[in-house]
């Protein structure tokens, strides 16, 4: 009976992952279904507003259900709430901005060799789909974290750095993300993101999950997690790994994706592939809005403040999904 229960749980997990993420796999990669033209310059305030260090910026992605990303929206289409209090939007950008991006590859023992091979291919395609002005660095990790390639705009440089990586050792996910956040802050672009390839099974980090969460909350870095799971793994490990990746992404306004393998070393053919997911992430980074506001609550005490971004109804467009970071620390 116990064996049957575990088998059913595994099947349910795979089915749920495939259903949820197939929606995105079928999305047409495009640069907008709303074609309103807006020429607001990047990183400039709205008329009559001066920017200073108290400005809170919020990257926002708008997408349709299964039809791609929406561009061409204007500031008056959005509402921003800080602790449920509506804020005046002082800054707005819908221009494509280059980004500093950290790519983090898990090559611990839980990552079969075939997964590494697939990840190498996907990483190259991710860079090729990205903004030509983006810069990238590569971190590889198992029980230790290594900077495999410093900032570069070359897909060849990144690809050559993962050729000889072999899956072995334990997994220090928390340490890798911690190093990634500190490193990406050294980038030359104001838009910053991390893309993590892992199963989320941390068992070797020096940093705690609590310490990492605090750093993630305090940073202005988008985190995209691509979970690579095996259907043969225990339901508890699957659930924990996915929960960690999903929560980390949601905090920052990024997104978590998942693929599963039917048996060790074989990537499942159903649902989104690593390549498809990487194309989606690269496109999303190119299709983001940036909203900025000055908090009306001037309380000096440092605390985590919850954010909410709402989209007003837009004629001609159906239901839309809005992704944004859950809050900020000050």
pLDDT tens digit sequence for 135-185: 999 999 999 999 999 999 998 999 888 877 777 889 999 999 999 999 999
All domains of the chain in start order, with CATH? 56-96+288-329 (no CATH), 97-286 (3.40.50.410)
* Whole-number Å distance between alpha carbons of 35 and 184: 33
pLDDT reported for residue 68: 86
* Whole-number Å distance between alpha carbons of 51 and 91: 8
* Whole-number Å distance between alpha carbons of 32 and 9: 38
HSE, CB side, 13 Å, CA atoms: give it for residue 193. Answer: 27
Contacts for 68 with CB less than 8 Å, ≥ 6 apart:
27, 28, 29, 30, 32, 33
pLDDT tens digit sequence for 195-235: 999 988 898 999 999 999 999 999 999 999 998 887 767 77
Cross-strand partners of 256: 225
Ordered DSSP codes for 80-97 = EEETTEEE-EEEEE-S--
pLDDT tens digit sequence for 156-165: 999 888 877 7
Q: How confident is the model at residue 84 (pLDDT cuts 50, 70, 90)?
A: very high
- CA distances, 259 to each of 60, 90, 115, 121, 236 (Å): 25, 40, 10, 15, 17
pLDDT tens digit sequence for 277-324: 999 999 999 999 999 999 998 776 668 899 999 999 988 888 899 999
Cross-strand partners of 163: none
């Amino acid at each position: 009976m116990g064996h049957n229960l575990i088998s059913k749980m595994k099947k349910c997990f795979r089915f749920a992952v495939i259903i949820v993420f197939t929606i995105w796999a079928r999305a047409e990669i495009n640069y907008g279904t709303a074609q309103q033209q807006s020429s607001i310059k990047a990183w400039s305030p709205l008329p009559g507003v001066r920017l200073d260090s108290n400005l809170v910026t919020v990257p926002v992605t708008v997408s349709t259900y299964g039809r791609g990303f929406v561009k061409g929206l204007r500031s008056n289409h959005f509402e921003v709430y800080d602790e449920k209090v509506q804020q005046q939007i002082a800054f707005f950008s819908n221009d494509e901005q280059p980004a500093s991006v950290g790519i983090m590859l898990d090559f611990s023992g839980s990552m079969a060799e075939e997964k590494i091979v697939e990840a190498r291919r996907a990483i190259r395609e991710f860079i090729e789909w990205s903004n030509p002005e983006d810069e990238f660095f590569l971190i590889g990790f198992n029980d230790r974290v290594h900077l495999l390639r410093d900032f570069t705009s070359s897909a060849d440089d990144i690809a050559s750095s993962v050729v000889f990586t072999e899956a072995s050792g334990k997994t220090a996910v928390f340490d890798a993300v911690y190093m990634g956040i500190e490193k990406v802050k050294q980038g030359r672009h104001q838009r910053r993101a991390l893309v993590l390839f892992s199963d989320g099974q941390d068992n070797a980090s020096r940093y705690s999950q609590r310490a990492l969460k605090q750093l993630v909350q305090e940073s202005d870095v988008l985190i995209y997690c691509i979970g690579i799971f095996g259907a043969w793994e225990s339901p508890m490990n699957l659930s924990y790994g996915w929960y960690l990746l999903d929560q980390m992404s949601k905090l920052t306004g990024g997104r978590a994706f998942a693929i599963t393998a039917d048996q060790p070393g074989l990537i499942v053919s159903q649902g989104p592939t690593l390549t498809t997911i990487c194309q989606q992430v690269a496109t999303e980074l190119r299709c983001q809005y940036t909203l900025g506001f000055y908090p009306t609550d001037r309380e000096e005490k440092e605390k985590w403040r919850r954010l909410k971004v709402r989209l007003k109804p837009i004629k001609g467009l159906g239901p839309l999904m809005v992704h944004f970071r859950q809050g900020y620390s000050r």
